Amino acid sequence: MANEVYHPDPSMKPTPYIKSMKEYEKMYKRSIESPEEFWEDIAKQFYWETPFTNKFCSYNFDVTKGPISIKWMEGATTNICYNLLDKNVRNGMGEKIAFYWEGNDPEDYSRLTYKKLLIQVCKFANVLKSKGVNKGDRVAIYMPMILETVIVMLACTRIGAVHSVVFAGFSSDSLAERLLDAKSKVLVTSDGVWRGEKLLCLKEICDAAMERSKKFGHEVESCIVVKHLPRLNASQSRDGEGKENDEKSPEKRKAFDYQVPWDEDRDAWWDDEMEDASSSCYPVWVGAEDPLFLLYTSGSTGKPKGVLHTTAGYLLYAATTFKYVFDYHPGDVYWCTADVGWITGHTYVVYGPLANGATSVLFEGVPFHPHNGRYWEVIQKFKVNQFYTAPTAIRSLMKFGDVPVKKFDLSSLKVLGSVGEPINSEAWLWYYNVIGSGKCSIVDTFWQTETGGHVTFPFFGVLPVLLDENGKEIQGPGEGYLVFRRPWPGIMRTIFGNHERFETTYFKKFPGFYTSGDGARRDEEGYLWITGRMDDMLNVSGHLLSTAEVEGALAEHGAVVEVAVVARPHPVKGECLHCFITTKDGVKFTPKLSDELRRRVREKIGPFAAPECIQYAPSLPKTRSGKIVRRVLKKIAQNDRNLGDISTLADESIIEILFANLPVQD
């Protein structure tokens, strides 16, 4: 398949923004040769309260020459919320739908126009102000995929506050760590949420997190809670909740029994706060390089990194990548399935689409509820034109064959996007042929929390380079470390509160370059294929994790003396976790212990990090100096006997024992 070329069907896109490869090349060339002019032109479509003063872009990308610094449009002032909402409303788009909201339950849906969104955002910005939130303060968001989540994010930007969204699948410990690191003043959440058939009691998790954060020295001042469950409970009753609410449905019983924990001094209901809030809120003009948001991503030391994005550059980049990569035209309906808790949700559910005045679908549910054709049903319902999802979702839906797809009319689709991990050819072909009927273009978008937006094909302004282990540039076909030579507007500026870690993580390995941590292969035509992480990161269902954080969670168990975690390929998740555990002397490795360990990872990090396999290891393969040789463990986990050079191991005999005890894999 790698040798086959699939061209976009000409009937699909009579008027794309970029009409040919030639035109792309011309634009790309200009973005590289005259980046300031290129982005300055793009900046003209937005509102700047004051223009930029010095240079349009200034930076130092070389640690050997001084601190890393990246600045776009320094001196300019603006407000992102103003650009996303007020500007569009003023341009006559007030009645245009910003979001179609589709709940977990198909009966539960609504819509929000640009004008109504603006009113809600202003009201909530006033609520935040009443809670003492000022410019620069951090506001944590632990929410389901509901309209209020977008409202909170934009309300923050309206007053210059910095949002820190935490994916509502993270455990209370993970949330606590993020509250503490960001010193978030306010936390916004909902009482709970249904995800498929499962109930998540979010407020309970928040309470545990706030308590933990307080114990470690940071107290969240206010917690604002959206009442979300009663609405869902009400809609359940439509299909006869009385009948179902018996022993067959413990989850539903749990929902009816759920008493939302409450602290009168700290907690407030969303509706009570919004009731009297004024719907007018003048935007706070902020500097181009003032912080916009923080988003935590896994770090190889185990402690998550608060990736910081700033205002002007991120706006330009989110808007421009969205427009060109998805070829979004006015009137189109766009749907990105990512949760707002990840960067994809930030840039391509919220900022990119709204900056283009787009109409999007915001989906709360899961692809398998109430049936395996839910995604396709939603595409049909809203006549979606651009659909953006992850290979892991495609693979999990492919399993059910073409029948659930064929039940729905997907003829509205024009562009299909893929993100989060390398897409395998089987999944690509199914996406192309079955979902896209062999007509839609597929955009494979490589990027990271740190990059702020898409960086491949390469996108405008992006200069990818391949380096070998010694930092020597690989010209022409070959494989190596994927690095970037200069900043584009949307790249992160620092790690919150730790600029040194920022420099060490991304700029020390190869001075003069931003190191992505990924590897890539350049083919004969110059196309770059991402090969995956080259560091201690794992990619489970498109979620990045570090071996260190999973090992940390397991090592805390009293029965464990040593642990090593590696990734192995998984047919649906892309990669999954395989953990090797050495127990303390006299402690037996039992299925019960294995369950306990798995639970520990769920509690410390979140359910999505739960290991696929926990294997007992009487000892671990180590070098003579005592370093665990993960390379060998990775091979064992894959049952691959091509171990390479093992002469440096202190004791080779453990290898056979580990192979012999390898649990049966699916």
Where along the sequence are the contacts to ligand WTA (CB under 6 A)? 297, 342-344, 418-422, 444-449, 516-518, 530, 532-533, 539, 544
Beta bridge partners of 530: 520
Judged by CB, which is closer to ligand WTA: 445, or 494?
445
* Smallest distance, ligand WTA to C-beta of residue 428, A: 11
| b/e sequence 543-570, b meaning 16+ C-beta within 10 Å | bbbbbbbbbbbbeebebbebbbbbbbeb
* Smallest distance, ligand WTA to C-beta of residue 53, A: 33
* Smallest distance, ligand WTA to C-beta of residue 120, A: 28
Query: Which pair of tokens denotes residue 224?
Result: 């604002």
Judged by CB, which is closer to ligand WTA: 518, or 536?
518
**Pairwise CA distance, residues 616 & 619, whole Å:** 9
* Smallest distance, ligand WTA to C-beta of residue 544, A: 5
Helix, strand, or coil (residue 314): helix
* Smallest distance, ligand WTA to C-beta of residue 319, A: 17
* Smallest distance, ligand WTA to C-beta of residue 454, A: 8
Judged by CB, which is closer to ligand WTA: 18, or 530?
530
Contact 158, 125 (CB under 8 A): yes
H/E stretch holding 513: none
* Smallest distance, ligand WTA to C-beta of residue 32, A: 22
Judged by CB, which is closer to ligand WTA: 289, or 339?
339
* Smallest distance, ligand WTA to C-beta of residue 518, A: 5
Which residues neighbour 83 within 8 Å (Cβ) at sequence distance 6 or greater? 46, 47, 315, 355
- DSSP letters, 409-447, are --TT--EEEEESSPPPHHHHHHIIIIISTTTSEEEEE--
* Smallest distance, ligand WTA to C-beta of residue 326, A: 14
Judged by CB, which is closer to ligand WTA: 151, or 419?
419
Phi, psi values for residue 374, rounded to 5°? -60, -45
| For residue 370, cis peptide bond before it (omega within 30 degrees of 0) | yes
**Pairwise CA distance, residues 24 & 459, whole Å:** 9
Judged by CB, which is closer to ligand WTA: 471, or 532?
532
Phi, psi values for residue 575, rounded to 5°? -130, 155
* Smallest distance, ligand WTA to C-beta of residue 94, A: 32
H/E stretch holding 608: none
Helix, strand, or coil (residue 519): strand
Q: Hey, what amino acid is at 397?
A: L
Judged by CB, which is closer to ligand WTA: 67, or 478?
478
**Pairwise CA distance, residues 394 & 268, whole Å:** 40
**Pairwise CA distance, residues 538 & 532, whole Å:** 9
Q: Hey, what amino acid is at 656?
A: E
* Smallest distance, ligand WTA to C-beta of residue 239, A: 36
Judged by CB, which is closer to ligand WTA: 517, or 621?
517
Taking CB positions, which residue lies at the least distance from ligand WTA? 449
* Smallest distance, ligand WTA to C-beta of residue 574, A: 9
Contact 579, 567 (CB under 8 A): no
Judged by CB, which is closer to ligand WTA: 76, or 390?
390
Phi, psi values for residue 636, rounded to 5°? -60, -45
**Pairwise CA distance, residues 535 & 541, whole Å:** 18
Judged by CB, which is closer to ligand WTA: 155, or 492?
492
Count CA atoms within 13 Å of residue 332 on its CB side.
22
**Pairwise CA distance, residues 151 & 122, whole Å:** 9
Q: How far is CA 180 from the centre of its chain?
A: 21
* Smallest distance, ligand WTA to C-beta of residue 295, A: 9
Judged by CB, which is closer to ligand WTA: 122, or 545?
545
Contact 581, 614 (CB under 8 A): yes
Judged by CB, which is closer to ligand WTA: 192, or 453?
453
DSSP type of residue 64: G
Strands of the sheet containing 222-226, edge to edge, are 267-269, 222-226, 186-190, 138-142, 162-165, 291-297, 305-310, 494-495
* Smallest distance, ligand WTA to C-beta of residue 138, A: 20
Beta bridge partners of 418: 389, 444
Judged by CB, which is closer to ligand WTA: 347, or 359?
347
* Smallest distance, ligand WTA to C-beta of residue 532, A: 6
Q: Which of 293, 284, 310 is nearest to 71 (CA)?
A: 310
Judged by CB, which is closer to ligand WTA: 103, or 341?
341
* Smallest distance, ligand WTA to C-beta of residue 165, A: 13
Query: Which pair of tokens denotes residue 119?
Result: 């009113």
Judged by CB, which is closer to ligand WTA: 321, or 385?
321
Which residues neighbour 355 within 8 Å (Cβ) at sequence distance 6 or greater? 46, 83, 84, 315, 318, 319, 322
Judged by CB, which is closer to ligand WTA: 428, or 447?
447
Contact 309, 452 (CB under 8 A): yes
Contact 337, 573 (CB under 8 A): no
**Pairwise CA distance, residues 181 & 296, whole Å:** 10
